[in-house]
Structure 1
Amino acid sequence: MSSFLHSAPPRATKKRVERDESISGSDSEDFDSDDEVASRASEALDAGSDEEGETAAEARLRLAERYLQNVKQEVDEVGFDAADLDRDLIAARLEEDVAEAKGKVYRNLAAELAFEKATHCQFKANTLSITSIAAREPYAYTTSKDLHVHKWRIQDLASNQPSQSAMKKSKRPAPPPRKKPELENYLKGSLHKVNDKNYKRHVDEILCVAVSPDGKYLATGGADKRLIIYDADTLVPRRVFTHHRAAVTGLAFRRGTNQLYSCSKDRTVKVWSLDEMAYVQTLFGHGDEVVDIDALAQERCISVGARDRTARLWKVMEETQLVFRGGAVDKKAQVDVDRRSLRNEGSMDRVAMIDDDLFVTGSDNGSLQLWSLQKKKPVSIVPIAHGLDPPLKPTQYSAEAHPKPEAAPVAVPRQITALKTIPFSDVVLSGSWDGYVRVWRLSEDKKKLEPIGVLGGGGEEGGQGGWAITGVINDIAVFERGDRGVDGLCVIAAVGKEHRLGRWKVAGGGKNGGVVFEVPRVPRVQMEPWPWCPLPLTKSRNKGGENAFVYV
């Protein structure tokens, strides 16, 4: 099939359910949305006005004024004036809604998240290696190689927890809030039920997990070729699908729907509808095992095919695909290492979508690649993103008493084992076995990834309190605290002693469990005033996407 197939433009996607309640995102019952204004105006026209002699135009005007009055009253309660209301609340929200409908990056979160001030807590699972994690506030779900599915409750922020002294009016100070996630429920499969066709749990290693956007369904896939759908609240299995002919390696829900995509070592991608609990169709094209998949709001998904070194964007409705071929390395990269360590890409293992036009992939040669749908080659390559493993000692690569120095192997890049984005923002997170979750920022021109910090510590880059993430980071889950992340970001790393797909990498001293990072949100930093300017300036973004300096 051709690398790029031309097709009709995709149909307009359905607007996100959680975003269409009101124009300001308020949950207040007294707040009138624009849809309510329109419906009430129609009722006023049909049933007549509440006020005698009021025309239809006057009814619309009265309802619109009431709508704006409610908006201003709500915003005034949190300390904004009319100028802030017009500029930051209404205009900004409208721009964000339009940008998300177009599927473009519209949130510059990297500058507002204080990754260097992140707090952390570690939790342990008494299982074999954790292979995958999915999160929907306040729950996280993990899977393991010994057939466990765990449901964890992530603790609330300290500011959101009621004080014990306030409740009991005790003179004793309130105890510190719990930080570690609580194990709320779990279930385990059995290796001895392989031949039982009525058994509704896994009978081999569980490799991937995903939770539906509404939190109703949980899906897991494993080396037993099974795709199992659970009730997310109770972990009761609802349906077992056995359509795949090899291990199920990746799962992704379409944003805002119960449409599910799965990928497998049988080289296929399958589409499912959980509303009907039904199989929909199969997508063919990869030449090797499909090991990861991701999706956003449009009816399309993107997958990576390991050693066929391709990423494929599947347009489900048009039944077409776009093929992006990797395999190369940036030989001009300015890195202070032996040039032999810049290995060619052997396997494309991880993928995550930034928006409907940009996505990132991670490879076994340690590189992160930024792609655009407008180009067949990567827009940018970050080589050796997680550093190098130390080279083998002479006694490990030769049996001679005095081996030749030129025969010594070079240091090997650490493989990208986890990759996650905050959709429609400029934040990208990656993981390996170097002890960090590394944070990257999409540049303003959207042509490269820039390192901005790490979560975790130890090793040559220091860290928080001298501790380190010991083990392989097999997956990363993210959710935002508060309305649109106003209270920060929660990042959860799934850690195991082994790589999720095999035992070729075993981290000595690693722990099977996870690490929860709470990243605080900081207000936008004010810029230094110019010498001739007596008023402070703040950096904002105009309609064209360029930076501008605005008086405050």
Structure 2
Amino acid sequence: MSFFIRNVGRGGETQKRKLNGHRGKIFKSQSTSKRLKKANKFVHDDNESIASTDEEFAEENLRNKTEKFETETDEEEETAQEKSLRLAKKYLQEIEEEEKDRAEFEESAVAQRLREEYLEQKGRLRKTVASNYIGHNKLILLRCKEHKGPITCICLSNDGSILYSGSKDGSLVKWSVKEKIKLKAIRGKRGKTKDGMKSIRCMAISTDGKFLVIGAIGCNDIKVFSGDTLDHIKNLQGHRKFVSGLIFRKDTHTLYSASEDRSMKVWNLDDMAYVESLFGHQSGITFIDALSRERAITSGGYDGTIRIWKIVEESQLIFNGHNLGNSIDVVKLINEENFFSGGDDGQLCVWGCLKKKPLCSVPEAHGRDETNGQPMWISSIATLLNTDLVASGSRNGVIKLWQCGQDFRSLNLLFEIKLTGFINALTFTPDGNQLIAGVGSEHRNGSWWRIPEAKNSIVIIPLKHK
């Protein structure tokens, strides 16, 4: 039984899935003999229309048209292999230009970068940096009048210069990370703007910063905004319940969405079109993540499973983890082969794509609640991609930074950062110099507890290195 439902066009014809935002088209190529025949006919027709007294003009005219036809024919005859070679040479030239602009240029810089990109794609790139982190400098607090409710989600632009944050009151704010100021904002439900949202649950920004997408409670649509101006572009309709997770496939406009309706959907934002649906979870999906590969990873809440969806192969890998009866609330990739998970049982688990059981698990990673004796929920996880550094946040306001051991078989605590409130969202800047937290007086998924003294804010944590 297939877990994938494709978009079906008119007349019952199944549409081809889009690859990198383009539908496949089939063109019938003409043979060389047919093209020459066409050229001869073209020349013959022109000969008949020219007077004998203008023979020199006719010859010149025919020569120009024949040369133009031959040029067009040569362009059409570029093979797929030749095109790939041409694009590869162009890419190498671009890398060389980028590396030459740096202060220190080495002959092996291009080869080193290509090697790292290859290892990253294969999920084998791992930089050991965690041991260099020894603490943090003074915390920087960002607050604004639009965020009256708890911060539920944040996302960073690809270069780490722009931060977007969403709140339970439906407000959306764009920040400058370098200048630590608010750039633009959209008020929530209390505002008068037509794009007002009841309660933002999740958001994602495309790699090029062109599209910002929002999922909100009270609306089953995905709202698409301009990442630059925050102008509303379109609503993507298809989910039957609110959208709980959004992520762009790296370097593309392919969007993956997860919902409380237990489905995951694939969208192409170049055409603002739905592509296909994926089913399998037995409970509402709580989180979604993806990197460069054409696959996504989701956590299934109270169904106790994590699933890796292989889009091309039309298959899924199922991981059963955590304690039976507990909810898996967050899942986060650190590279293409390893990921972390956390939930209301307090466990922080490390996984490998090739094993059904965790490689490592830290039970009660954030301790126990003194009032009720229950484990502290893990509400957020951040990873510094392709390294050994990970951070986890809990409902008691504590952020812990961890170092991954050899082959992700162990987790060692580096240090703690204590805040007040629920740590609903975490993200590292790409250079690893800062950790950014979204803090609220309530959990992002509900209002079971409330911490009145907590400030709904963005906290920028400058990290100290050796």
Q: Paired residue for 1:237? A: 232
For 1:283-362, list aligned pairs within 5 A. Answer: 283-328=278-323, 346-362=326-342
The structural deviation recorded for 1:189 is 4.1
- Distance, in Å, in 2 between the alignment partners of 1:38 and 1:124 is 44
For 1:472-491, list aligned pairs within 5 A. Answer: 472-480=422-430, 485=431, 488-491=432-435
TM-score, structure 2 as length reference:
0.75
Which of 120, 140, 144 lines up with 2:139 in the alignment?
Answer: 120
The structural deviation recorded for 1:203 is 4.2
The structural deviation recorded for 1:105 is 3.3
CA deviation profile, 1:270-289 (whole Å, cap 9, x unmatched): 11111111111111000001
Secondary structure at the aligned position of 1:438 is classed as: strand
2:369 is aligned with 1:389: yes
Cα pair distance change 1:274/1:318, threshold 3 Å: same
Cα pair distance change 1:293/1:74, threshold 3 Å: closer
2:186 is aligned with 1:187: yes
Contact 2:350 2:408 in 1 (8 A): no
2:113 is aligned with 1:93: yes
The structural deviation recorded for 1:516 is 0.3
Q: AA paired with 2:205?
A: V
Q: Paired residue for 2:221? A: 226
> Number of matched residues?
379
The structural deviation recorded for 1:451 is 1.5
Which of 406, 421, 443 lines up with 1:444 in the alignment?
Answer: 406
Which of 439, 443, 448 lines up with 1:504 in the alignment?
Answer: 448
Indicate the larger mover: 118-127 or 430-439: 118-127
CA deviation profile, 1:235-262 (whole Å, cap 9, x unmatched): 1010112211111111111111111111
The runs of 5 or more residues in structure 1 that have no matched partner are 4-12, 15-32, 41-66, 157-180, 194-198, 329-343, 393-410, 458-468, 523-552
Secondary structure at the aligned position of 2:453 is classed as: coil
Indicate the larger mover: 182-191 or 283-292: 182-191
Q: AA paired with 1:490?
A: Q
Q: Paired residue for 1:134? A: 155
- Distance, in Å, in 2 between the alignment partners of 1:326 and 1:131 is 25
Which of 245, 269, 276 lines up with 1:250 in the alignment?
Answer: 245
- Distance, in Å, in 2 between the alignment partners of 1:271 and 1:251 is 10
CA deviation profile, 1:183-236 (whole Å, cap 9, x unmatched): 11111244799xxxxx96254211111111111111100112121000011110
- Distance, in Å, in 1 between the alignment partners of 2:136 and 2:434 is 13
Cα pair distance change 1:506/1:98, threshold 3 Å: same
Q: Paired residue for 2:350? A: 370
- Distance, in Å, in 2 between the alignment partners of 1:497 and 1:37 is 48
Cα pair distance change 1:378/1:184, threshold 3 Å: same
Contact 2:135 2:465 in 1 (8 A): no
The structural deviation recorded for 1:347 is 0.6
Cα pair distance change 1:190/1:100, threshold 3 Å: same
CA deviation profile, 1:340-387 (whole Å, cap 9, x unmatched): xxxx56111100012221111001011111111211111111111111
Cα pair distance change 1:496/1:37, threshold 3 Å: closer
- Distance, in Å, in 1 between the alignment partners of 2:88 and 2:270 is 29
- Distance, in Å, in 1 between the alignment partners of 2:101 and 2:91 is 17
Cα pair distance change 1:520/1:215, threshold 3 Å: farther
TM-score, structure 1 as length reference:
0.64
Q: Paired residue for 1:212? A: 206
Q: Paired residue for 1:269? A: 264
For 1:134-173, list aligned pairs within 5 A. Answer: 134-136=155-157, 137-155=160-178
Contact 1:138 1:154 in 2 (8 A): yes
Structure with bigger gyration radius: 2
- Distance, in Å, in 2 between the alignment partners of 1:414 and 1:39 is 51
- Distance, in Å, in 1 between the alignment partners of 2:178 and 2:111 is 34
Q: AA paired with 1:125?
A: C
The runs of 5 or more residues in structure 2 that have no matched partner are 4-18, 21-86
Cα pair distance change 1:283/1:200, threshold 3 Å: farther
Q: Paired residue for 1:24? A: none
Contact 1:154 1:182 in 2 (8 A): yes
For 1:457-476, list aligned pairs within 5 A. Answer: 457=418, 469-476=419-426
Secondary structure at the aligned position of 2:386 is classed as: coil
Secondary structure at the aligned position of 1:280 is classed as: strand
Contact 2:204 2:213 in 1 (8 A): yes
Q: Paired residue for 1:102? A: 122
Q: AA paired with 2:167?
A: S
CA deviation profile, 1:461-492 (whole Å, cap 9, x unmatched): xxxxxxxx111010112222xxxx3xx52211
Cα pair distance change 1:111/1:94, threshold 3 Å: farther
Secondary structure at the aligned position of 2:121 is classed as: helix
For 1:2-81, list aligned pairs within 5 A. Answer: 35=89, 78=104
Indicate the percent of aligned positions where both proteins have the same amino acid. 34
Secondary structure at the aligned position of 1:389 is classed as: coil
Cα pair distance change 1:202/1:377, threshold 3 Å: farther
CA deviation profile, 1:91-145 (whole Å, cap 9, x unmatched): 6434312211312232222134x34144421122331111111111211111111
- Distance, in Å, in 2 between the alignment partners of 1:492 and 1:117 is 12
Contact 2:171 2:197 in 1 (8 A): no
- Distance, in Å, in 2 between the alignment partners of 1:253 and 1:476 is 17
Secondary structure at the aligned position of 2:220 is classed as: coil
Q: AA paired with 1:140?
A: L
What's the Cα RMSD here? Answer: 2.9
Contact 1:296 1:356 in 2 (8 A): yes
